[in-house]
Amino acid sequence: MRSAGVRRREVLLGSVALAAPRPSAAEPLPLVAIAPGLFVHAGVHEDFAPSNRGGIANLAVLLGEEAVAVVDAGGSPAQARDLLAAIRARTDRPIRHLILTHHHPDHVMGAGVFRAVGARIWGHARLEAALRDRFAVYRAAMERLLGPAIAGAEAVPIEETVAIGKPRRIDLGGRPLELVAWPTAHTDCDLTVFDLGTDTLLAGDLLFSRRMPVIDGSLPGWLAVMDELARIPAARVVPGHGPVSAPWPEALGPQRRYLEELAAAVRRAIRAGRSLPALLADPPPAGDWLLSEDNHPRNITAAYKELEWE
Ligand SMILES: [Zn+2]
């Protein structure tokens, strides 16, 4: 039964809505519990489209006794509002921290939604510069690709930075997190989060699983960082793209094989004097990677441009 009071409130809200249209009501984003107090939303293996609202990356929520941290903000404010609704359906503890793993749009476009509810923004020491360089370009592209979902997206200041070689800790109340900034790999501002209580590594896009990796930093750099990552004593990993949880360090295997074979093939071609267009005409690599039609040629091009200067 709905009371007269509820109906009256709806009437009042309705009159406010006439004056200033509200965004459509948030639908809690589906979250999967992969460890106690650790929830992950699975990104879809698609290109950016209005139907997915930029929701192609995995997003994580960590609940402590006192506070909540969110790892990556989603691909649009619309998706972020739904992630916020999913958190609020589970806890009313304050969302004190938003940790951004790097500057790509599927990870940062929803950041303003969490800043507006009081989260401090964490990132690699180079993240702010990366966002300064690219955010406007990304937002224009997302307006074209996503439509209304991107409305209100804003670049956020990085209030807490993590420098390479100087890990930092956040405690959510009985839940310490270690944040590590990495040398150039997937991008030049990759950050990982290690949830020490559950031995879970949140790898951001330093790990792609099933969806083909994309090089926007350095191919040899990424391989070197993967060697370091493999030493982290995690039980499981949350990849930036792929399943919500995978065994560690075994989950590194397919990406390592792909990147090593790519580096070897490109170095062979450069030594043999083959041109980039000739290399791009070679058959695609083995393995059942998703979205390889677009990503593999991009990776060959990035690798060729980097490795021809070796
Ligand atoms: Zn990325």
What is the full DSSP assignment across 10-47?
HHHHHHHHHHSPPPPPP-PPP-EEEETTEEEEPPPSS-
Question: pLDDT tens for residues 195-239?
Answer: 999 999 999 999 999 999 999 999 999 999 999 999 999 999 999
pLDDT for the residue numbered 26: 85
* Cis amide leading into 249 (omega within 30): yes
Query: 102 CA distance to ligand 1 centroid (A)?
Result: 7
The answer to whether the beta carbons of residues 284 and 309 sit under 8 Å apart is: no
The answer to whether the beta carbons of residues 111 and 156 sit under 8 Å apart is: yes
Query: 186 CA distance to ligand 1 centroid (A)?
Result: 7
Q: Does domain 23-247 have CATH number 3.60.15.10?
A: yes
Query: 16 CA distance to ligand 1 centroid (A)?
Result: 40
Query: 208 CA distance to ligand 1 centroid (A)?
Result: 9
**Helix (H) or strand (E) run with residue 207 in it:** strand 200-208
Q: How far apart are CA 306 and CA 310, in angstroms?
A: 8
Query: 205 CA distance to ligand 1 centroid (A)?
Result: 5
Query: 10 CA distance to ligand 1 centroid (A)?
Result: 42
Domain spans in the chain, listed from the N-terminal domain onward: 23-247
Query: 31 CA distance to ligand 1 centroid (A)?
Result: 21
Nearest to 39 by CA among 111, 4, 108, 91: 91
Query: 217 CA distance to ligand 1 centroid (A)?
Result: 10
Nearest to 194 by CA among 219, 161, 165, 229: 229
The answer to whether the beta carbons of residues 127 and 100 sit under 8 Å apart is: yes
Task: Give start and end residues of each alpha helix (H) in the chain.
Answer: 4-19, 77-88, 105-108, 111-116, 127-146, 219-229, 253-271, 276-280, 292-307
Query: 101 CA distance to ligand 1 centroid (A)?
Result: 8
Tell me which residues of the chain have a pLDDT lower than 70: 1-24
User: What is the number of other CB atoms lying within 10 angstroms of the CB of residue 276?
Assistant: 17
Enumerate long-range contacts of 280-285, CB under 8 Å, 24 or more apart: 285/258, 285/261
* Beta bridge partners of residue 63, listed in sequence order: 68
Query: 175 CA distance to ligand 1 centroid (A)?
Result: 26
The answer to whether the beta carbons of residues 109 and 54 sit under 8 Å apart is: yes
